[in-house]
Amino acid sequence: MVGFAHRLGFAVALAAVPGLASSCRRAPAKERADGGTITGAAGITGAAGTAGAGGRAGAGPGGDAASGTGGAGGQPGSSTGINLDGSPTYTRMQRLTNQQWERAVAGVLRFAAPANLAQSFSAPAAPATDFSNNEKRLYVDAQAEMDFEAASEKAAALATGTPDALARLYAGADATGFVRAFGRRAFRRPLTADEETKYQGIFTLGETLYGAGFANGAALVIRAMLQSPKFLYRSELGPAGAPLDGYEVASKLSFALLGTTPSDELLDAAAAGSLDSSDGLERAARAMLEQPDALAVLRDFHGQLYRLDGAGAVERPGVPAALKPELAEASYRFFDTVFANGEGLRAILTSTRAFVGPGLAQSYGIQPAPAQIEELALDPSRIGYFMQVPFLLRAGRDDGPDTIARGAAVANDVLCLAVPSHVAPPPPLPPLAAGQTDRARVEAATASCAGCHADVVNPLGFAFEGFDGLGRRRDADNGVAVDASGRYPVGGVERPFADARELMRLLADDAQAHTCYAKMLTGYALQRDVVEADRPLLQDLAAVSRTKSLKEMIVSLVRSAAFRSRPGGAP
């Protein structure tokens, strides 16, 4: 039976939508039904988009690259202009991520406990993008096809294997009612009459092949539907710029904010027309943002944006083993609290709150150390995430700070600057000479790259000279007093700062920092590259970010035409 339900599910699901079969299955480019072309990584593309690589340097969990690509469209206060040179495909068929698929399966089958069906799925493919949920990284190649097929069969067995599981799935015992009810949840809209007829035929086939009994018919329907493009993909078909219908926007909203398929209640709201207006969509979004699943989605957003898992993966002889288990979790809990407390970028850059366990307490100089990770107020001289130990340790060296990595992280992750990459890997920094500071060593080593380092990376990195390679405070470097001062263009004016604390406060008021945060949030929520045409939206969201919270930014994004309309153009 391996492969049977998969082929059957695709054949049935595609019958009502000519041309979709070739666009949803394979990575190589194929012809579209309208005569255009598609890429395997993109699904169905709008007329305005073509595939291309790109994205923020070091994107994705664990990355730490310091370089980016050329930017477009300068902002007041930027050194090289915010990087908006993406190449979205504007897909109309957005494949679910592995995590979304896992959670959607659990939702539509009403599992009582996590099944972990996707834990062995292959990871999203290249190219490099800001986030792993980008449209260009999600397609069904041969490996993914086998992953979905095997997992769908396991899911169907779990959902129909016991009377209790089957009762949670559907309370009745008739094929017609089951196909209609389960199909609505799986396809996130009511089935057409033709679809109902075809899936009732599959139900009957299941009883014929495996013996009479409701469970056998239901199991084959489940296997077919979970492998259908109608389940695997979230569609936004239609003319560019046209409004999404109620069911499409319900799916988009639920996957964007909760990471899973829409609830029965949200589908009911779509059917009633409650999501057709921006006000109705806002009410639904606000309710979702208070659910625990929203916290998990934003945890993933911040984890990828700031590469929070990277700290726990640091392999350096000088990093205490007892410290490593705390690094990622302490960071995640900081960002969880920023979101849950109704805060935003300003808190990320300036909050004195941190999460500290017994290992981190030593680096912070906190006595007595807590027995487990807990929220504490740090010394007011150490503010924001970028002055917390997990970040400083990740961007550190055994002989001191990794100044270039710290500066590049702020340039990339806070300001979205287009920092050019090195043509060839740069040589390692030489050992410190007698009486030489880290700052002097970096200045000497980067003297030939003044445009990138002297103007962009180095000033931002030097602000953190007051912290060693483990994130501990230091006043002297190689016997010389630490100099963490500098100047940086903020708000169109070059501004002096004495140290990282003053720099973070300057950036917290900088329009470019808030525009960068808006860019990252938009790219993650819309699952595509952000481009120059998105600048008005980013500026609107940045204005919200400067005075309000991340939650309010999300609400503003949900109300926007970019969220409520079909991609590839403006209404």
CA angle 408, 409, 412 (to 5 degrees): 80
538-552 average pLDDT score: 97
Of 54-63, 178-187, 362-371, 376-385, which gets the smallest average pLDDT?
A: 54-63
Domain assignment of residue 176, yes or no: yes
Domain assignment of residue 221, yes or no: yes
User: CA 403, CA 194: separation in Å to the nearest integer?
Assistant: 63
User: With pLDDT > 90 as the criterion, what percentage of the chain qualifies?
Assistant: 70
* Helices within 318-451 (DSSP H only): 324-340, 345-350, 358-364, 389-394, 403-409, 438-445
Per-residue pLDDT, 47: 26
User: CA 40, CA 55: separation in Å to the nearest integer?
Assistant: 19
105-118 average pLDDT score: 94
Please say whether the beta carbons of 219 and 157 come within 8 A.
yes
Per-residue pLDDT, 102: 96
485-506 average pLDDT score: 94
Per-residue pLDDT, 567: 85
Residue 264 has pLDDT above 60, yes or no: yes
* 3-state SS string for 105-159: HHHHHCCCCCCCCCCCCCCCCCCCCCCCCCHHHCCCCHHHHHHHHHHHHHHHHHH
Residue 322 has pLDDT above 70, yes or no: yes
* 3-state SS string for 304-327: HHCCCHHHHCCCCCCCCCCCHHHH
**Mean pLDDT in the chain?**
85
Per-residue pLDDT, 505: 97
Of 36-50, 127-141, 210-224, which gets the smallest average pLDDT?
A: 36-50
Per-residue pLDDT, 314: 87
> pLDDT per residue over 36-52, tens digit each?
222 232 332 222 222 23
Domain assignment of residue 148, yes or no: yes
In terms of pLDDT, which residue wins out, 288 or 491? 288
Please say whether the beta carbons of 88 and 49 come within 8 A.
yes
Per-residue pLDDT, 424: 74
User: CA 459, CA 488: separation in Å to the nearest integer?
Assistant: 7
Tell which residue, 387, 386, 405, 384, has the closest CA to residue 396.
405
Please say whether the beta carbons of 7 and 152 come within 8 A.
no
Considering 106-120, 269-283, 317-331, 413-427, the range whose residues carry the highest mean pLDDT is 269-283
Q: How many residues does the chain have?
A: 571
Local confidence band at 132 (pLDDT 50, 70, 90 cut-offs): very high
Per-residue pLDDT, 425: 79
Please say whether the beta carbons of 122 and 143 come within 8 A.
yes
Residue 76 has pLDDT above 70, yes or no: no
Per-residue pLDDT, 140: 87
Tell which residue, 552, 545, 458, 560, has the closest CA to residue 507.
545
Domain assignment of residue 248, yes or no: no
Residue 74 has pLDDT above 50, yes or no: no
Q: How many domains does the chain have?
A: 1
21: domain range? Answer: 4-38+93-235
Residue 195's φ and ψ, nearest 5 degrees, are -65, -40
In terms of pLDDT, which residue wins out, 81 or 90? 90
310-331 average pLDDT score: 89
Tell which residue, 135, 229, 237, has the closest CA to residue 566.
237
Of 86-90, 92-96, 139-143, 227-231, which gets the smallest average pLDDT?
A: 139-143
> pLDDT per residue over 394-441, tens digit each?
999 988 999 999 999 999 999 999 777 777 777 888 998 998 999 999
Of 42-46, 89-93, 95-99, 391-395, which gets the smallest average pLDDT?
A: 42-46
